[in-house]
A and B are shown apart, each in its own frame.
Chain A
Amino acid sequence: MEGTALGIQLAYVVSAALFIFGLKGLGSAATARRGNMLSAVGMLVAIVAALLDQGIVDYTFILGGMVVGGLIGAAAARMVQMTSMPEMVALFNGFGGMASLLVGVAAISGDASVFTLVTIVLSILIGGVTFTGSLVAWGKLSETISSGAVQFGGQQVVNGLIVVAVVVSGVMFCMNPDAPVWLIVMIALSLLFGIMAVIPIGGADMPVVISLLNSYSGLAACAAGFAINNNILIVAGSLVGASGIILTQIMCKAMNRSLSHVLFSGFASVSADETEVEGEIKPISVEDAYYVLEAASSVAVIPGYGMAVAQAQHVVKELMELLEKNGAEVNFGIHPVAGRMPGHMNVLLAEADVPYDQLLEMDDINPRMETVDVAIVIGANDVVNPAARESEGSPIYGMPVINVDMARTVFVLKRSMASGFAGIENPLFYKENTRMLFGDAKESIGGLIREFG
């Protein structure tokens, strides 16, 4: 190995180490920002090293691509609303997948070994599925297309046939790498499969899907690394792949569902809801809610996707300050799948300047729920549904939930009694200690703030 080539490989080693330190840093809030910087430096080292490759004779295309991509990426990162973070991550995942697909295609050459051809097939397949799957996920999250689960009779059969066709076209391609027809068929089928795989999954399951696509974008990079014989792609790609898989597992566990159940059946196909509800709905006015809050010494706020939709995080923070000034202890209970991506609520509340040590995970807030005077549920539904604990007939029975019904009083901020996304009955609304505060969450909280003022 001559000098430059050796130097490039050594630079990749440095950059791999920086990625590892970077990910380690992301493991704690105190070091996360530095970790992200380290990982960015690692990326810079890898890119500079790659640019020194002596096979490169013309930098026009490279610089052109980098400038265009960099500007788009920078603009998107600056302008995106924190509430739209899931959409953006989905879109970025898709771009990563497409990049790997393109690298796979460009790596095809007549004299490639069978092993290389197989890895090319994998990078095209995973990259293609990641690309269209992410676009569909983006469409569902941004409500560009219906966020509901799209299901039709024989869906499993159709998908099974697509998988078979993908495998066949992949094998045919490996046997005839010079015939473009199999390549084109394989790309088309991969793209189609990405769409088919994500359309049957409903909006509430999006945290799982995004985590999984995140993992795929890493695995696609990994496969591309095999195709072009590049270590750093394999290392970085598999680190990302592993992180996506872990998040996927956490999300599935938090919903008490297996991954295959999320992927292959929406809530719609679950046996009918047999939850029996007793009691009646008791609405409360903003004024009465204020009197209860004013007397409370311990308050827990449980946010859900509805808080993001209503953009209510800033007024929530304002209310928190008023309550604290009034001598109450305020904590937030965050369910792992609240929102549309893992950690979505935490980011929104951080944006509103809520200190992260007041954001408690489900297992930390549940034991102290009995000592809470008022639990305020803002735009959350399934994640606080006591049917998950009590009613064996409920589709979500067994899912870990935040036990708000154990608090002395529960306020549920909700637009109307129209049933939620999954259409599952929520006995919480009918409990003795529950009061419904109907209306837009942002306006209701604004009303409470005015009462304090």
Chain B
Amino acid sequence: MDAVFLTFILMLSIFLGFELINKVPATLHTPLMSGANAISGITVVGAVALAGTGQKDLANWLGAGAVALASINVVGGYMVTDRMLAMFKKKEG
């Protein structure tokens, strides 16, 4: 049942994603991409559970590696997107 339930969520989110992003103007494509990239760092949420088992085994180390890589993605992605968006200005007056 879990499988069906998760697949249902997947299907709905993909449709939602298409609807949300379809109308983004070309001007914002780069920030959209780096902002989306930051969101894909969500893997960190899965990685913390694996990095926190305290087993000091291979899975534990892999989890720690995954936390580090995904954190680069999250922190770097959001910061650089903000830096870009701060530069977008409307014509004065």
Give A contacts to B, CB under 8 Å.
Answer: 19-20, 22-24, 26-30, 32-33, 35-37, 39-40, 43, 46-47, 49-51, 53, 55-59, 61-62, 64-66, 68-70, 72-74, 76-78, 80, 82, 85, 88-89, 92-93, 95-96, 98-100, 102-103, 105-108, 115, 210-211, 214, 217-218, 220-222, 224-226, 228-247, 250, 334, 336, 341-344, 346-347, 350-351, 353, 355-359, 361
Contacts and interface: CB of A to CB of B under 8 A. Distances in A.
Interface in B5-64: 6, 9-10, 13-18, 20-54, 59-64
Contacts of A76: 72, 76, 80
B49 A57 contact: no
Contacts of B51: 61-62, 65
Given A65-B65, A82-B84, A355-B89, A89 B72 contact: no
Interface in B52-93: 52-54, 59-92
Contacts of A62: 48, 51-52, 64, 67
Given A56-B48, A232-B42, A238 B75 contact: no
B13 A53 contact: no
A59 B52 contact: yes
A92 B80 CA distance: 11
Interface residues of B, number: 80
Contact of A239 (B28, B36, B74, B75): B36
A95 B72 contact: yes
Nearest to B87: A350
A170 to B, nearest CB: 18
Given A55-B52, A77-B76, A238-B14, A65 B29 contact: no
Contact of B24 (A22, A27, A69, A235): A27
Contacts of A225: 6, 46
B29 A342 contact: yes
A265 B49 CA distance: 42
Q: Considering residues B34, B45, B61, B71, which has the most beta carbons from chain A within 10 angstroms of its beta carbon? A: B45
Given A23-B20, A56-B49, A361-B26, A92 B72 contact: yes
Contacts of A238: 10, 13-14, 17
B30 to A, nearest CB: 4
A95 B46 CA distance: 15
Given A27-B23, A236-B39, A238-B10, A96 B48 contact: no
B48 A43 contact: no
Q: Considering residues A76, A102, A231, which has the most beta carbons from chain B within 10 angstroms of its beta carbon? A: A102
Contacts of B70: 69, 95-96, 99
B35 A26 contact: yes
27 contacts: A23-B39, A39-B39, A43-B78, A47-B48, A50-B48, A61-B64, A66-B67, A68-B68, A73-B71, A92-B73, A96-B37, A96-B41, A98-B66, A99-B44, A222-B10, A224-B43, A224-B46, A226-B10, A229-B6, A234-B13, A237-B43, A238-B10, A241-B14, A243-B17, A350-B84, A350-B88, A355-B89
| Chain B interface SS verdict (over half) | helix
A245 B18 CA distance: 9
A221 B65 CA distance: 15
9 shortest interchain CB distances as A-B pairs: A242-B17, A69-B71, A73-B76, A343-B29, A65-B67, A56-B52, A58-B54, A342-B29, A73-B75
Contact of A102 (B29, B47, B87): B47
A217 B40 contact: yes
A88 B80 CA distance: 10
B40 to A, nearest CB: 4
A233 B46 contact: yes
Contacts of A73: 71-77, 79
Given A36-B78, A50-B49, A65-B68, 8 more contacts: A28-B28, A47-B48, A69-B68, A73-B77, A106-B50, A107-B50, A228-B50, A347-B84
A50 to B, nearest CB: 4
Contacts of B81: 36
Contacts of A92: 34, 37, 72-73, 76-77
B36 to A, nearest CB: 5
Given A26-B28, A66-B71, A102 B66 contact: yes
Given A28-B25, A356-B90, A229 B2 contact: yes
B66 A99 contact: yes
Nearest to B21: A243
A210 B22 contact: no
B16 to A, nearest CB: 7
B88 to A, nearest CB: 5
B35 A22 contact: yes
B18 to A, nearest CB: 5
